[in-house]
């Protein structure tokens, strides 16, 4: 039996708190773990922030691309040791 994947729905979170919440959630992941981000818009700016700050330590997979709900699986690579 597989574990239920964690989901972080930020649609009701104030915009200023969304990125810190997402980065905190990411920081708590173990190697090769992931969570699903649920958002009300394409989180492209978040992707660029991950790319700038965490190059090579994350995975990004769109599961749903709007128009009302975006779901993205964000994972930690197995080679990250943080």
**Which pLDDT tens digit goes with each residue over 27-79?**
999 999 999 999 999 999 999 999 999 999 999 999 999 999 999 999 999 86
pTM: 0.90
Q: How confident is the model at residue 3 (pLDDT cuts 50, 70, 90)?
A: low
Give the strand pairing for 58-65 and 6-9.
unpaired
Residue 80 has pLDDT above 80, yes or no: no
When pLDDT is averaged across residues 12-31 and rounded to a whole number, the result is 96
Question: What's the distance, CA 75 to chain centroid?
Answer: 7
Question: In the numeric block, which tokens belong to residue 43?
Answer: 């989180």
Question: In the numeric block, which tokens belong to residue 46?
Answer: 């978040």
Bond into 9 cis (ω within 30): no
Spatial neighbors of 25 by CB under 8 A, at least 6 apart, are: 6, 8, 35
């Amino acid at each position: 039996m597989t574990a239920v994947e964690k989901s972080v729905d930020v649609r009701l979170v104030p915009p200023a708190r969304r990125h810190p919440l997402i980065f905190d959630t990411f920081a708590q992941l173990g190697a090769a773990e992931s969570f699903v981000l649920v958002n009300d818009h394409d989180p492209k700016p978040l992707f660029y922030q991950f790319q700038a700050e965490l190059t090579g330590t994350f995975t990004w997979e769109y599961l749903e691309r709007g128009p009302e709900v975006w779901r993205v699986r964000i994972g930690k690579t197995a080679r990250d040791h943080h």
